Structures are given as structure tokens and as C-alpha cells.
């Protein structure tokens, strides 16, 4: 910005970056102060303010290396606008094996509560210091299923009452420009309407959730998608110079609350063998898998697609009891051809 900006008591002048931590006193039983570390970049020119974080869910760190590659090499003097990045869940980040015990349902408490439980106080701290009255756009990085494709979750028009079409359309633009091959459009309220992304949208801030492949943080293709996606958004918002890079084709899928709408289920217990792979396009009635008996080694059931759509996920564990979900097929709303 053409003027200095201050975040949680830390000031960055035009063309500067600064480091800091939001301290939350009287929170932990042993008397230690909890700190939420952050970086703020203040560009030399005016522009939008972008807020992003990673590892709200402690083990979902797979975007971190992609973010590092972009922000560690970002010269604030070439930036238009401002960026704030933080680690919003310091307890979980340090102790991911027990994060659910220490910081349960962090993504289900809306904007938090300064007088609430531990989780609500942490969320309130980063909402008040990093987002409220500052952020114009929000990226909430998460991690999807192991081996799943990268997708971007966002909200469609009319899902949340009182949200303007402009806010929803800006979020949709961010989702598309991020450049994942899959876009996941929320058509019904998710998480009781109390996710961080949903709460941002309620408050007039366009927000998206990129979900990265949960296989490994070191998968280079995933790192590149995260870095490219962040750059794409910054270029589209006029924050940095560059060219938006999109895949040749993007699929827009419909997200619904009831997972049974998407699930292919077996009627007989046994061992599941898929006959399709993730990313395949199938039609209703197509053969998508079989179940065989581990006792006789004979095929006992043929599984077919219950609707037209995109094979979004396939169960890793082949051992299935009757009624289990073996794969998810999602409805395709639109296909974008990028040339």
C-alpha cells in the first residue's frame, strides 16, 4: 500500500514485510502464552488485501511448501496491495497427533468467541487481527483425501441468505483462476454454515478452500499446483505481474450434504476391485467394479454407476462389508475448456 499498515501491533511500511505473533494470554493450563505467528507483506502500490493460512486442521499442511515458494521470494516493492499469512492452529501444528483433543472442530466455530472455549478464542484471535476490517479476499488451504485429485471448494449463489451475488461471483472467480482441474461448488450449507470460509462469505469477504492431495507434502506436482494457484490469484487480482496458467480442462462438480447421493455401495460383503480410476467420466449403468468372495475367490457382485458423473474417489481398503461406500461419483455441472 502507499501507506504503512499495522497488523497485531506490527507495522510494515510501503514495500516492506514484517514478522510478528498474536499473543493470547491466560489460555493454557500451565500459564504459557499461546502465539499465532504471522507475516505481513505491504506492497509499494495500492491494491487488495489477501489473507491466507494453512494447517487450520493441523495435519493438513500440504500447501505449505507451495506457499513458501511464492512468499519467500516475494519482493514487497513489486507488490500491489497487502498479504497476511499465518499458522492459525499453533497447538495442532506442533502436536498433530493429538490436535483434535486440543483444538476440536476449529473449522466449525464460525468466527470464534473471545469468551468461549479454547478453540473459539484461537479463531477469534486470527479473525480480529488478520481478517476483520482488513482482508478483501481469503484463501483457506486444506488437504483432501490421500491420493485424491486437487480441488477447490466454494459457495454457489443462494446458499447463504443475505450474501450478495458479487461476493459469491468473486469467490467463484478465485476458485476458477486457482487452476485446479476440479472445482467443487457448494449447493447446500456445509458444516452448519459455521466453517471459516462460510463465515467469511457471510461477512462479505470472498473466500475459497483449495483441498490438496493428501499423499505427501513432498509430491512435486502438488507443490506446483499450490504455488501456481496462489500466483494465479495474485496475478488476477492485479497484485503481481505474470500470466495466469490454467489446465486444458476444468470440471465443475456439484457438492451436496448427503454423501449417499454420490456413493456407489456394495450389497454383498467381500473384496472390492475397481474397474475405473479417479478422474474417469462414467455413465449410469457402466460397470465400475466387482466384489469377490475371499472364501471362494469367485466374483459375487457387479457394481455399476448409479448416475452419470465424474469418479471423484475410490476406496483404498478393498475389504468391504455390505452397504459400504466403494467410490463416489459426482454430478458434472459444467466443463471449462481453457485454450
pLDDT, tens only, 283-306: 999 999 999 999 999 999 999 999
Q: Coil, helix or strand for 189?
A: coil
In this predicted structure, what is the pLDDT of residue 216?
61
CA gap 61, 238 in Å, rounded: 27
Q: Coil, helix or strand for 215?
A: coil
Write down all domains in the chain, each with its CATH number in brackets.
5-255 (3.40.630.10), 264-332 (2.40.50.100)
Give 140's strand partners: 53
Longest distance between any two alpha carbons in the chain, whole Å: 75
Average pLDDT, the chain: 92
DSSP 169: H
Residue 22: Cβ within 10 Å count:
22
Q: What is the pLDDT of residues 128-178, one digit of tens each?
A: 999 999 999 999 999 877 666 789 999 999 888 899 999 999 999 999 999
Q: Which of 177, 238, 239, 187 is nearest to 208 (CA)?
A: 177
Query: Mean pLDDT, to the nearest integer, of 22-26?
Result: 92
Residue 39 has pLDDT above 90, yes or no: yes
Q: Determine if residue 15 is left, alpha or beta; phi over 0 gives left, psi from -120 to 50 gives alpha, anything else beta.
A: left
Query: Mean pLDDT, to the nearest integer, of 28-46?
Result: 94
Residue 333 has pLDDT above 80, yes or no: yes
In this predicted structure, what is the pLDDT of residue 103?
67
Q: Judge contact between 157 and 185, C-beta under 8 A.
A: no
In this predicted structure, what is the pLDDT of residue 60?
85
Q: What is the pLDDT of residues 204-215, one digit of tens each?
A: 999 999 998 766
In 64-140, which ranges are continuous DSSP H helix?
64-71, 90-94, 99-102, 118-126
Instruction: Dig out the grid coordinates for 179 from the structure.
Output: 487452476
Taking the alpha carbons at both ends of the chain, their separation in whole angstroms is 34
Strands annotated E in the chain: 5-7, 10-12, 16-24, 34-42, 45-54, 80-86, 137-143, 151-155, 182-186, 207-212, 249-255, 263-265, 270-274, 281-282, 287-292, 299-304, 309-314, 319-320, 325-330, 332-337
Amino acid at each position: 500500500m502507499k501507506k504503512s499498515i499495522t497488523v497485531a501491533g506490527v507495522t510494515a511500511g510501503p514495500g516492506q514485510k514484517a514478522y510478528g505473533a498474536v499473543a493470547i494470554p491466560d489460555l493454557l493450563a500451565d500459564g504459557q502464552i499461546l502465539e499465532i505467528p504471522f507475516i505481513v507483506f505491504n506492497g509499494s502500490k495500492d491494491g487488495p488485501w489477501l489473507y491466507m493460512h494453512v494447517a487450520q486442521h493441523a495435519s493438513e499442511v500440504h500447501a505449505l511448501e507451495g506457499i513458501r515458494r511464492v512468499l519467500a521470494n516475494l519482493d514487497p516493492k513489486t507488490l500491489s496491495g497487502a498479504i497476511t499469512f499465518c499458522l492459525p492452529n499453533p497447538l495442532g501444528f506442533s502436536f498433530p497427533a493429538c490436535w483434535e483433543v486440543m483444538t476440536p472442530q476449529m473449522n466449525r466455530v464460525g468466527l470464534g468467541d473471545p469468551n468461549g472455549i479454547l478453540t473459539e478464542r484461537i479463531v477469534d484471535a486470527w479473525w480480529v487481527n488478520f481478517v476483520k476490517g482488513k482482508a478483501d479476499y481469503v484463501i483457506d488451504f486444506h488437504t483432501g483425501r490421500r491420493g485424491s485429485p486437487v480441488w477447490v471448494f466454494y459457495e454457489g449463489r443462494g446458499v447463504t441468505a443475505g450474501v450478495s451475488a458479487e461476493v459469491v461471483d468473486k469467490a467463484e472467480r478465485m476458485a476458477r483462476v486457482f487452476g485446479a482441474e476440479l472445482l467443487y461448488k457448494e449447493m447446500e450449507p456445509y458444516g452448519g454454515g459455521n466453517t471459516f470460509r462460510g463465515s467469511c462469505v457471510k461477512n462479505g469477504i470472498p473466500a475459497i478452500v483449495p483441498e490438496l492431495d493428501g499423499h505427501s507434502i513432498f509430491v512435486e506436482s502438488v507443490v506446483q499446483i499450490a504455488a501456481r494457484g496462489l500466483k494465479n490469484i495474485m496475478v488476477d487480482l492485479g497484485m503481481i505481474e505474470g500470466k495466469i496458467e490454467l489446465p486444458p480442462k476444468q470440471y465443475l462438480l456439484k457438492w451436496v450434504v448427503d454423501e449417499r447421493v454420490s456413493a456407489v455401495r456394495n450389497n454383498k460383503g467381500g473384496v472390492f476391485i475397481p474397474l475405473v480410476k479417479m478422474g474417469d467420466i462414467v455413465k449410469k449403468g457402466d460397470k465400475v467394479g466387482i466384489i469377490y468372495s475371499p472364501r471362494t475367490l469367485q466374483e459375487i457382485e457387479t457394481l455399476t454407476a448409479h448416475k452419470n458423473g465424474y469418479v471423484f474417489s475410490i476406496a483404498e481398503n478393498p475389504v468391504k462389508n455390505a452397504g459400504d461406500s466403494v467410490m463416489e461419483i459426482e454430478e458434472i455441472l459444467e466443463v471449462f475448456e481453457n485454450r
